[in-house]
């Protein structure tokens, strides 16, 4: 097998004919396959079901500090939960807020409060500026971008590599006072699959920013979600403190992909001063979040080791699925030079970087053969991928046999789109 | 016994001496009593504990429409829950959103979205106006006022009577285009304890407002929370539709005082067009709320009758507590003409309206005798009760024996403050 770039025109035409035939065979199967959504499979959900048997009596609903989790109170979360999820983030309970059932919602809330009220150290609410800009490493998470777009925050894409974003570009951008922050998914990045290097973390923590109230939205969604290997990540709050910028980072996480998506608990980490500041703001918006569910989680995990134990079981379930995706790409696409990808050590996604101008076409071919993928462009602000190259593969939800079929369709689509593109040029 | 107003000066001085002696006796008891918070007692929480035994297997977590409540999806809530809580509000499932665990949080969210994005029919986001004003019937709920104050929305107090707010004043106020809405707790009003009459509901639904995007924030927190009598309340969404203003009302409710405060489910009701509009907005802030807890509630209640059955049990528990408060006021305060109150048929509060200028003094006297009350002024925007007369009594949480003691202290404080006031004048 040789790369398409070394094919003669005749070879390409023959390959195209072959691929069209193969593609039609798949179309005839009338498949309904889905690699669009980063949701856990049913076997993963099963891992947390023992939790549902906990907390059945009044006594069991009282936490270690005597708080009745069934009643109002404890705006920042019960102490045990703040300890547990603080441990997950590597920070103190006093630096931790345990919130509702979604970290995304708390990210939205945090941005909204910044817009309407400002963050600690703001001269004025961000919405009072003519323009607010956020740096968005790409490929990135579409829901981060939707938050900015909805709120009218201008997004500036910056290239993300396997080891972190383009720091030279970022250092230049943050000289602009209207650049108020950056979105980061530092570990098993969504969707590229890399991890921020120590250098990247330190650079973000220590760089000089024109905006005194610059914030890193550190969405550590996959902090304990290894599949192959637990990649070490520096503690961003620690690094910000060391660099003299303790208030710079807002850390987010949740148990959505540890226990139950949308029915777990979200958590937030920041300096104690930020936590105190935010506490005063959120007093207007909440009396307390669901403490029963917090305590249910605490009792189930016992401590941070309990979380790691569950995550090892998730990894066992996810590994064959990631294998299926990566092995198929290695076999079918690699030797043909029809795209590239980072092998993720964890997380929920593989990003396929197609030849320029092929992503939308691949997406359409997949769709018309019954395979749903995340839309091309979703990895970029305003859905604009200038190279039309990025596609997100989400292997977690389908059964392995379905996944194999889906990847076969995907690879045929990639090959066909690539050959078409070369022939067109 | 005769009213203090008919006492001679000598009689007043004698009464004062007697009351100071009594008051000191209470102080010597070093009491720790609390009538500050409208939270359910432990026996009320016990009513919903059977719910905690539900949903223990994967099969049990699948809803009637085949949705796995343990995974992402169903942004507006599972259909069964939308039906159940729509029934509670007397509206269609399509007009209902079932949200997180707190209606207060959704009120905040709703106001924030109005400020940053606008509501259906807005020419621009509310925050883009020089001034946004809200009408606040007083006495009212302090947390509504906190939302407005935090967001810089100017609050205009309007007198609330047992049967609704002063409609003449409101009709005048809504001629101002910057008046964008009104807060209402229509049934067993927090904290006055009255209920909006049919006339009040119809008037609010049909009045002409200068702002085309005027909204009634209809916090029907106590919609099924009778204690003595279920007082009928017109369906505000229905009335708004009849009046040709279907988008005018945003209805809010929750199970915080049906099942578990902060760990139940919140719900929202509005026209289908509003719901669709809001769905598009909240797509930016959430993937889905805790559907497991929604289904747990649905299975526990089965239907709206299940909710009424639970509420009958709550009423049985609360009635002796309200009796204790009301009977003590009837015996100790009524004949002395030292204040007035509405006898609430349901809800969580009794509002005591002291003689002018007495509320803060009563509060202080209570505090210094070990009885915590909601702070004087909390019933008014900016904590400014111009008459210094309103005090909120929350009888639900203390044990009946404690409550009796608390009311004894309270009545001595009221009598002493009143006598002092008359002597001062």
Question: Read out DSSP for A382-425?
Answer: GG--TTS-EEEE--SSS-HHHHHHHHHHHHHHHHHHHHHHHHH-
pLDDT at A11: 97
CB B97 within 8 A of CB B77: yes
Choose the closest CB to B262 out of A58, A116, A289: A289
A145, two tokens? 């971008």
Distance from CA of A102 to the nearest CA of B (A): 7
CB B65 within 8 A of CB B236: no
Could you report the average pLDDT of every consecutive run of 10 residues in chain B (425 residues)? 95 98 97 93 97 97 97 97 98 97 97 98 97 98 98 98 97 98 97 96 98 98 97 98 98 98 97 98 96 98 98 98 97 97 97 98 98 96 98 94 95 98 94
Choose the closest CB to A70 out of B55, B117, B260: B260
A288 with B151: Cβ contact below 8 A: no
Whether A5 has its CB under 8 Å from any CB of chain B: the answer is no
B223, two tokens? 């919609």
pLDDT at A9: 97
Closest-CA residue of chain A to B142 = A284
Tens of pLDDT along B246-264?
999 999 999 999 999 999 9
- Rounded alpha-carbon distances, angstroms, from residue A24 to A20, A369, B420: 6, 8, 94
Mutate to test the interface with A, among B66, B190, B260, B294 (most CBs of A within 10 A): B260
B289 with A262: Cβ contact below 8 A: yes
B244, two tokens? 């040709």
Whether B39 has its CB under 8 Å from any CB of chain A: the answer is yes
Choose the closest CB to B146 out of A53, A71, A284: A284
Measured CA to CA, the distance from residue B284 to residue B272 in angstroms comes to 19
pLDDT at B425: 85
Closest-CA residue of chain A to B69 = A263
Distance from CA of B25 to the nearest CA of A (A): 32
Backbone angles phi, psi at B237, to 5 degrees: -65, -45
pLDDT at B1: 84
pLDDT at A82: 98
Name A16's Cβ contacts closer than 8 Å, sequence gap at least 6. A416, A419, A420, A423
Measured CA to CA, the distance from residue B58 to residue B52 in angstroms comes to 15
A262 with B72: Cβ contact below 8 A: yes
pLDDT at A425: 85
Q: Which residues of B, range 107-126, sit inside 8 Å of A by Cβ?
A: 108-109, 112, 115-117
Whether A144 has its CB under 8 Å from any CB of chain B: the answer is no
Report the mean per-residue pLDDT for chain A: 97
Q: What percent of chain A has pLDDT over 70?
A: 100
Q: Collect all residues of chain A within an 8 Å Cβ-Cβ radius of residue B69.
A: 263
Mean pLDDT of A259-267: 97
Choose the closest CB to A262 out of B52, B53, B290: B290
Query: Taking Cα atoms as reference points, which of A183, A179, A174 lies closest to residue A129?
Result: A179
Q: Which residues of A, range 216-245, sit inside 8 Å of B by Cβ?
A: none
Cα of B248 vs its chain's centroid, Å? 20
Tens of pLDDT along A238-254?
999 999 999 999 999 99
Choose the closest CB to A292 out of B37, B46, B260: B260
pLDDT at A196 exceeding the cut of 90? yes
B116 with A117: Cβ contact below 8 A: no
Give the number of residues written for chain A.
425
Helix pair angle (A400-424, A304-328), 10° resolution: 50
pLDDT at B261: 97
Tens of pLDDT along A131-173?
999 999 999 999 999 999 999 999 999 999 999 999 999 999 9
Q: Which run of H or of E encompasses B224?
A: none
A40 with B100: Cβ contact below 8 A: no
Angle at alpha carbon of residue B267, lines to B266 and B268, rounded to 5°: 140
pLDDT at B196: 98
pLDDT at A20: 98
B146 with A283: Cβ contact below 8 A: yes
Choose the closest CB to A290 out of B55, B71, B262: B262
Query: Taking Cα atoms as reference points, which of A140, A216, A202 lies closest to residue A174?
Result: A216
Alpha helices in A210-256 (DSSP H): 236-242
Name A57's Cβ contacts closer than 8 Å, sequence gap at least 6. B49
pLDDT at B116: 98
Tens of pLDDT along A100-134?
999 999 999 999 999 999 999 999 999 999 999 99
Q: Which residues of A, range 49-78, sit inside 8 Å of B by Cβ?
A: 49, 52-53, 55-58, 61, 68-73
pLDDT at A235 exceeding the cut of 90? yes
Distance from CA of B56 to the nearest CA of A (A): 5
Mean pLDDT of A31-38: 92
pLDDT at A1 exceeding the cut of 90? no
Whether B128 has its CB under 8 Å from any CB of chain A: the answer is no
CB B379 within 8 A of CB B389: no
Tens of pLDDT along B32-62?
999 998 999 999 999 999 999 999 999 999 9
A211, two tokens? 């905006």
User: How many other CB atoms are found less than 10 A from the CB of residue A47?
Assistant: 18
Whether B30 has its CB under 8 Å from any CB of chain A: the answer is no
Q: Which residues of A, range 386-425, sit inside 8 Å of B by Cβ?
A: none
A287 with B58: Cβ contact below 8 A: no
pLDDT at A379: 97
Whether A285 has its CB under 8 Å from any CB of chain B: the answer is yes
Closest-CA residue of chain B to A62 = B42
Mutate to test the interface with B, among A40, A54, A101 (most CBs of B within 10 A): A101
Whether A103 has its CB under 8 Å from any CB of chain B: the answer is no
pLDDT at B97: 98
Q: Collect all residues of chain B within an 8 Å Cβ-Cβ radius of residue A115.
A: 116
Tens of pLDDT along A393-422?
999 999 988 999 999 999 999 999 999 999
Query: Taking Cα atoms as reference points, which of A245, A162, A187, A235 lies closest to residue A211?
Result: A245
Distance from CA of B419 to the nearest CA of A (A): 37
Query: Taking Cα atoms as reference points, which of B269, B265, B200, B254 lies closest to residue B231?
Result: B200
Residue whose token pair is 């309407």: A116
pTM of the model: 0.96
């Amino acid at each position: 097998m040789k790369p398409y770039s070394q094919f003669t025109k005749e070879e390409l035409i023959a390959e195209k004919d072959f691929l069209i035939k193969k593609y039609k065979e798949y179309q005839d199967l009338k498949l309904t396959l889905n690699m669009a959504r980063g949701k856990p499979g049913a076997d993963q959900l099963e891992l947390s079901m023992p939790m549902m048997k906990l907390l059945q009596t009044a006594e069991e609903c009282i936490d270690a500090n005597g708080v009745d989790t069934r009643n109002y109170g404890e705006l920042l979360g019960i102490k045990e939960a703040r300890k547990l999820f603080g441990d997950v983030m590597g920070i103190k309970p006093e630096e931790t807020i345990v919130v509702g059932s979604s970290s995304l919602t708390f990210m939205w809330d945090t941005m909204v409060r910044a817009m309407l009220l400002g963050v600690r150290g703001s001269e004025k609410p961000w919405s009072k500026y003519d323009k607010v800009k956020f740096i968005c490493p790409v490929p990135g998470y579409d829901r981060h971008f939707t938050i900015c777009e909805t709120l009218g925050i201008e997004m500036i894409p910056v290239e993300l590599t396997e080891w972190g974003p383009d720091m030279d570009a970022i250092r230049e951008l943050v000289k602009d006072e209207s650049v108020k922050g950056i979105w980061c998914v530092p570990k098993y990045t969504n969707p590229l699959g890399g991890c921020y290097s120590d250098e990247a973390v330190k650079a973000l923590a220590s760089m000089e920013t024109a905006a005194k109230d610059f914030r890193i939205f550190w969405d550590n969604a996959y902090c304990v979600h290894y599949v192959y290997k637990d990649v070490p990540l520096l503690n961003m709050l620690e690094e910000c403190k060391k660099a003299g910028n303790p208030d710079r980072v807002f850390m987010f996480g949740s148990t959505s992909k540890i226990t139950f998506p949308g029915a777990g608990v979200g958590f937030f980490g920041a300096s104690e001063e930020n936590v105190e500041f935010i506490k005063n703001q959120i007093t207007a918006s909440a009396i307390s979040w669901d403490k029963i569910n917090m305590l249910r989680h605490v009792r189930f995990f016992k401590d941070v080791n309990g979380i790691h134990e569950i995550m090892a079981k998730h990894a066992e379930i996810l590994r064959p699925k990631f294998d299926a995706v990566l092995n198929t790409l290695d076999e079918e696409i690699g030797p043909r030079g029809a795209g590239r990808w980072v092998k993720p050590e964890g997380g929920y996604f593989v990003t396929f970087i197609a030849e320029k101008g092929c992503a939308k076409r691949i997406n359409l071919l997949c769709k018309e053969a019954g395979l749903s993928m995340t839309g091309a462009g979703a990895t970029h602000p305003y859905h604009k991928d200038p190279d039309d190259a990025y596609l997100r593969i989400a292997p977690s939800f389908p059964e392995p046999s379905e996944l194999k079929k889906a990847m076969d369709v995907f690879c045929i689509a990639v090959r066909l789109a690539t050959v078409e593109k070369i022939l067109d040029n």
